[in-house]
């Protein structure tokens, strides 16, 4: 195995606080991750770092570190082939190329080896496909092949760019390939510290998890779901193959999405995340129901005016949701029907490493891909006092995601899931407070009427459940006073000025 070298520079992506769907659309843009130098062997395990790779690097692109430490003295064809443009960063070269149409991109790729590599960068072709064809495409193994097959059906070419270029060194181009091709490390998956329960009563769920706002993994509560018994790719293709679902920035027929997800290896695969699935395919609605713990659904008082609240989620291995807090201060449940998902959750007072929310919460800067987060930041949490809650949630299991918790999810295999966000009495006051924030216009999501949602919701609750808000406010005040008294007792028991412990038995 050739030597390898790891370098790292963290990149951030800023995104506004948005609905789940909008976040996903943003996630579909140009994938980026850390600069990392590894070797390009197939199915190779880098012993030093324990990284396992799935394939060989696209076009033979190597990380820049190899130029200085492995192939010393080589000439970087990246620079010679770019001419005067070699002074530009890779990001800038790609930004410029993103302005070109497919024909110009194709022509440019014949100019030099360097332009061949840049102009075949798959995310450029992905953007062209999504912008021009929207969801109306059949994935043909690569984004370039997809574009060529759709726009020139008679052209007999795989469309796949297959030339291997020697001595092309670029961290930027290497990195998205690397993040797409890394397998999750065993040690990342092994960290599992969530509480798992089976056969819990609703009362105990409320007392032990919902009230204290703690995550829990619920086992055995989907046993009656038709979805668990029936849903598979084949079944969904039968009942909804020609129905269009929301996939990143486009709408795609389900059967076409499956063709894509079967054939793709990319850093941030397109994720099917549709809030209207039940209306589009009523049989799917009839094959699941909220687990018994989540039956109280106070947003339902708004009828059709309620914000989006339920989604079917389908994605291949490596797809997922990067760090976010759920919308409108709601809590959520996420039921895995097929496949499995790795979860990492941080409590509301602990911002995950690598994640930088703006003070008003309207924007979040975070690593640009889930794999990047694992590679660059996951290790940091090992030494943290407040370690994240982690688990792998398997088919038939349900995650409870309490409101305000940061969470990241990656599918370990092709997965189908249902998630619902909900408001119960336990988080009603939080939700109302959130909806009333002065920047509600930026923060509230899942509805077009962001600024009026608070008033509409409060009024509807007052009509449907008179006195409930006052009762909850009274309880919250009593709880606050009790908490304060606990502190007062502790203060009385210790001498904070001298640091001496005065309490004795």
Ligand X SMILES: O=C(O)CCC(=O)C(=O)O
> Whole-angstrom Cα distance, residue 180 to residue 56?
11
Q: How far is the CB of 410 from ligand X (least distance, A)?
A: 8
- Give 17 or 334: the residue with its C-beta nearer to ligand X: 334
- Residue 101 neighbours by CB under 8 Å, 6+ apart: 128
- Give 172 or 422: the residue with its C-beta nearer to ligand X: 422
- Give 423 or 460: the residue with its C-beta nearer to ligand X: 423
> Whole-angstrom Cα distance, residue 309 to residue 302?
12
Residue count of the chain: 505
Enumerate binding residues for ligand X (CB under 6 A): 20, 313, 320-321, 326, 332, 334, 341, 407, 409, 417, 419
CA dist list (Å): 28 to 195, 322, 334 = 33, 11, 22
DSSP annotation string for 439-500: THHHH--SSS-TTTHHHHHHHHHHHHSTTHHHHHHHHHHHHHHHHHHHHHHHHHHB-TTT--
Which contacts (CB < 8 Å, 24+ apart) does range 429-432 have? Answer: 429/469, 429/472, 429/473, 429/476, 430/329, 430/403, 430/404, 431/328, 431/329, 431/330, 431/403, 431/457, 432/457, 432/458, 432/469
DSSP annotation string for 264-276: ---SS---EEETT
Q: How far is the CB of 324 from ligand X (least distance, A)?
A: 6
Kindly state the tokens that stand for 1.
């195995």
> Whole-angstrom Cα distance, residue 322 to residue 271?
12
Q: How far is the CB of 156 from ligand X (least distance, A)?
A: 39
3-state secondary structure of 430: helix
- Give 181 or 321: the residue with its C-beta nearer to ligand X: 321
- Give 246 or 313: the residue with its C-beta nearer to ligand X: 313
> Whole-angstrom Cα distance, residue 145 to residue 147?
5
- Give 109 or 321: the residue with its C-beta nearer to ligand X: 321
Return the bridge partners of 46, or none.
Answer: 51
- Give 20 or 454: the residue with its C-beta nearer to ligand X: 20
Q: How far is the CB of 290 from ligand X (least distance, A)?
A: 15
CA dist list (Å): 257 to 5, 158, 253, 366 = 37, 20, 6, 27
The alpha-helical segments, DSSP class H, found in 298-451 are: 370-376, 428-435, 440-443
The alpha-helical segments, DSSP class H, found in 20-121 are: 20-27, 64-69, 77-80, 90-97, 102-108, 113-119
Return the bridge partners of 219, or none.
Answer: 198
Q: How far is the CB of 23 from ligand X (least distance, A)?
A: 9
> Whole-angstrom Cα distance, residue 82 to residue 112?
8
């Amino acid at each position: 195995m050739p030597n390898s070298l790891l370098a790292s520079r963290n990149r951030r992506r800023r995104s506004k606080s948005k609905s789940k769907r909008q976040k996903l659309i943003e996630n579909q843009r140009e994938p980026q991750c850390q600069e990392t130098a590894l070797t390009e062997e197939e199915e190779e395990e880098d012993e030093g770092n324990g990284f396992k790779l799935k394939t060989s690097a696209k076009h033979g692109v190597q990380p820049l570190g190899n130029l200085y430490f492995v192939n010393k003295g080589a000439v970087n064809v990246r620079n010679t082939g770019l001419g005067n443009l070699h002074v530009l960063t890779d990001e800038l070269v790609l930004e410029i190329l993103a302005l070109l149409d497919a024909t110009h991109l194709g022509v440019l790729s014949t100019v030099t080896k360097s332009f061949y590599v840049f102009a075949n960068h798959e995310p450029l072709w992905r953007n062209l496909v999504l912008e021009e064809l929207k969801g109306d495409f059949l994935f043909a193994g690569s984004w370039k092949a997809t574009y060529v097959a759709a726009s020139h059906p008679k052209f007999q070419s795989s469309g796949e760019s297959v030339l291997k270029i020697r001595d092309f060194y670029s961290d930027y181009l290497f990195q998205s390939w690397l993040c797409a091709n890394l397998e999750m490390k065993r040690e990342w998956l092994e960290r599992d510290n969530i509480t798992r329960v089976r056969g819990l009563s609703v009362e105990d769920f409320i007392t032990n998890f919902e009230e204290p706002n703690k995550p829990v993994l619920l086992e055995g509560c989907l046993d009656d779901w038709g979805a668990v018994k029936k849903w598979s790719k084949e079944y969904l293709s039968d009942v909804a193959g020609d129905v269009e679902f929301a996939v990143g920035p486009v709408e795609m027929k389900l059967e076409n999405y499956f063709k894509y997800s079967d054939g793709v290896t990319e850093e941030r695969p397109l994720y099917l995340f549709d809030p209207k699935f039940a209306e589009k395919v009523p049989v799917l609605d009839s094959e699941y129901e909220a687990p018994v713990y989540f039956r109280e659904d106070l947003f339902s008082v708004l009828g059709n005016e309620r914000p989006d609240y339920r989604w079917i989620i389908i994605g291949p291995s490596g797809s997922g949701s990067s760090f976010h807090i759920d919308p409108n201060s709601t809590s959520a449940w996420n039921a895995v029907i097929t496949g499995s998902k790795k979860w990492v959750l941080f409590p509301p007072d602990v911002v995950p490493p690598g994640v930088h929310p703006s003070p008003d919460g309207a924007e979040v800067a975070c690593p640009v891909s889930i794999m990047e987060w694992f590679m660059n930041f996951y290790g940091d949490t090992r030494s943290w006092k407040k370690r994240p809650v982690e688990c792998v949630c398997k088919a038939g299991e349900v995650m409870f995601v309490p409101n305000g918790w940061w969470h990241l999810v990656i599918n370990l295999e092709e997965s189908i899931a249902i998630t619902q966000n909900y408001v119960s009495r336990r988080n009603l006051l939080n939700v109302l407070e959130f909806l009333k924030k002065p920047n509600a216009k930026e923060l509230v999501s899942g509805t077009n009427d962001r600024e009026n949602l608070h008033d509409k919701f409060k009024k509807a609750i007052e009509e449907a459940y008179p006195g409930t808000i006052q009762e909850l406010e009274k309880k919250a005040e009593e709880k606050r006073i009790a908490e304060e008294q606990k502190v007062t007792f502790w203060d009385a028991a210790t001498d904070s000025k001298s640091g001496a412990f005065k309490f004795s038995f």
